[in-house]
Amino acid sequence: MSDIREELQMKRKSPEPRTGFYVLKHKDKDVAMVQVDIGTGRLEYVLAVYLPEELPFGCGPDGKYLPEWWKFRAIPNSRKGLRQVLSRIGAETSQALLLYSYGLSLTDHYWMQPVDRELYWDDLNFYKNDFSEDLGNLLTDSEETERKGLKLSGLSPSASVNGDMKKKWVIRDGVRFLLKVNINHYSQQSVNEVIACRMHERLGWKNYVSYRLETIKIGGLQYPCSLSPLFTSEKTEFVSAYQILMDYKISNAMSLYEALILRVSEKGAAAEKVRRQMEYTIMTDFILSNTDRHLNNMGFLYDSEQRCLMDMAPIFDTGNILFYDQDVIPHRKNLLDIEVNSFSRREAEMLRYVRKGTALDLSRLRDFPDEAKALLLHNTEMPEERAGEIAEMIREKTEYLSMFLNGKKIWKRERYW
Ligand SMILES: Nc1ncnc2c1ncn2[C@@H]1O[C@H](COP(=O)(O)OP(=O)(O)OP(=O)(O)O)[C@@H](O)[C@H]1O
Ligand SMILES: [Mg+2]
């Protein structure tokens, strides 16, 4: 096994030019020829497009937005602990880390082949071929791996997964899972994912990612972490709503929400089914006070052989809920003033996208606030008072949603209590 630190160091010392030529591949199809800066991993030029119809969503027919797509594929600079990992490995950027793994991911079927090498999807892809957890371990607990002082494999799908939370892909009994961890805020984000799952279960909703809790040792201490099974496969890719809208011209008269539904229905998704999931997500996010349903936290499954969108991806990433990063839990009318990062700026206004007549059987959530409280107390060091306030807040939000479903325009902030 080669060591990523040694290889990157050799490349830095090499007198050869820093420019490299790569073929962007979709499985084994040659999609485009690009020029890359080997040191920074940045995609500098799109030299030729061979198969425009195989380009990733949102890159334009001439591949104009491929550099942005590539950059977004790498770990974002906002990822906790990224800078330390890069400096320990000796990589200039997270795009260099991504290039080291040929840009392969567990999100889709794209990768980069150096022009002077003959490589095949079957031999490389992470869906079928096992991978080392070395890089993932470093990304979740940098000190632990360094202490071992062993060779470090850098070939990993953990180099191509976005999001701010520390995370790594792991294989358990042959199944790939995304493990996410945060050590501050009582590790509430991890437990929140499971709380959201319990709510979907009670409501009888099927299309969600089932998160489970485990613990992980970081800096010698145990913390809760969440594990979610892979929802993509060698057949289906994930395409985020952001990607869908990246190169789409939206008329002034149309909302981003409607534009998204229109665009995906043009690409094969059933509009009515999409609407149902979007509305369900808005309503359940409201109950939980999810501030982060941005365009990369929702998306679609794409059949890469048939070349069509199949369905919405299961609901995932519901960790930024229940005021996980706030000391004071708001109540009553303050719950109608929550700012969110989604189709509207105010959470209550998101409900305007839910059509008249849409229903949700809220009676199924009667004991849900108590279950959420029990999960928080059982899995975190959170004081009982805070968990109690969170449960009360869920109750109040459910009541507001019930008023909304009964025709009240709750975003007008009239007094109800
Ligand atoms: N179970 C899964 N199967 C396949 N892909 C997944 C899975 N979970 C997450 N992903 C992919 O990984 C990305 C990052 O995951 P996630 O959104 O959960 O991370 P996060 O750090 O919580 O994100 P954010 O910065 O939005 O808070 C997702 O946008 C999605 O593309
Ligand atoms: Mg996310």
Placement of tokens 């991504």 in the chain: 98
% pLDDT > 90, the chain: 87
- Are the C-beta atoms of residues 196 and 297 closer than 8 Å to each other? no
Residues 160 and 244 occupy one common structural domain: no
Confidence label for 147 from pLDDT (cuts 50, 70 and 90):
low
- Residue 351: pLDDT band (50, 70, 90) is very high
Q: Given this model, what pLDDT does residue 399 score? A: 97
Return the higher-pLDDT residue of 120 and 220.
120
Distance CA 86, CA 156 (A): 15
Residue 148: what pLDDT? 61
* Residue at 152 is within a domain: yes
Residue range of the domain that includes 363: 236-412
Asked whether residue 31 falls in the same domain as residue 119, the answer is yes
Whether residue 392 lies inside any domain: the answer is yes
**What's the predicted TM-score (pTM) here?**
0.95
Q: What is the CATH number of the domain that holds 382?
A: 1.10.1070.20
Beta strands in 139-296 (DSSP E): 166-172, 175-181, 212-218, 221-229, 236-240
Ligand 2 center from residue 163 Cα (angstroms): 5
In a domain, 262, yes or no: yes
Q: What angle do CA 174, 179, 180 make, to 5 degrees?
A: 170
Q: Is the pLDDT of residue 365 over 50?
A: yes
Which of 108, 162, 290 gets mutated to test ligand 1 (max ligand atoms within 8 A of its CB)?
162
Distance CA 94, CA 78 (A): 11
Confidence of residue 132 (pLDDT cuts 50, 70, 90): very high
SS3 20: strand
What confidence score (pLDDT) does residue 142 get? 59
183: which residues sit within 8 A by CB, 6+ positions away? 218, 221, 223
Cβ of 177 below 6 Å from ligand 1: no
Interval 109-123 mean pLDDT:
97
pLDDT of residue 416: 53
The answer as to whether 225 is a domain residue is: no
- Tens digit of pLDDT for each residue in 384-393? 999 999 999 9
pLDDT digits (tens, 9 = 90+) for 160-187: 999 999 999 999 999 999 999 999 999 9
| Å from CA of 181 to ligand 1 middle | 12
Identify whether residues 66 and 156 lie together within a single domain. Answer: yes
Over residues 20-43, the mean pLDDT reads 97
Final residue belonging to a domain, choices 142, 168, 194 = 168
Question: Which of 125, 150, 168 is a domain's end point?
Answer: 168
pLDDT at site 10 = 85
The answer to whether residue 221 sits within a structural domain is no
Pocket test for ligand 1, best of 98, 110, 127, 161 (most atoms within 8 A of CB): 161
Chain centre to alpha carbon of residue 128:
21
Is residue 267 domain-shared with residue 140, that is, in the same domain?
A: no
Mean predicted lDDT score pLDDT of the chain? 94
Give a yes or no: residue 342 inside a domain: yes
Burial class from Cβ neighbours inside 10 Å (0-12, 13-18, 19+) for residue 41 reads buried
> Would you say residue 215 lies in a domain?
no
Residue 98 covered by a domain: yes
- Domain count within the chain: 2
Q: What is the pLDDT of residues 251-306, one digit of tens each?
A: 899 999 999 999 999 999 999 999 999 999 999 999 999 999 999 999 999 999 99
Give yes or no: residues 93 and 240 share one domain.
no
| pLDDT confidence tier of residue 370, bands split at 50, 70 and 90 | very high
Question: What confidence score (pLDDT) does residue 150 get?
Answer: 75
pLDDT recorded at residue 417 = 44
Least confident window among 6-20, 31-45, 246-260: 6-20
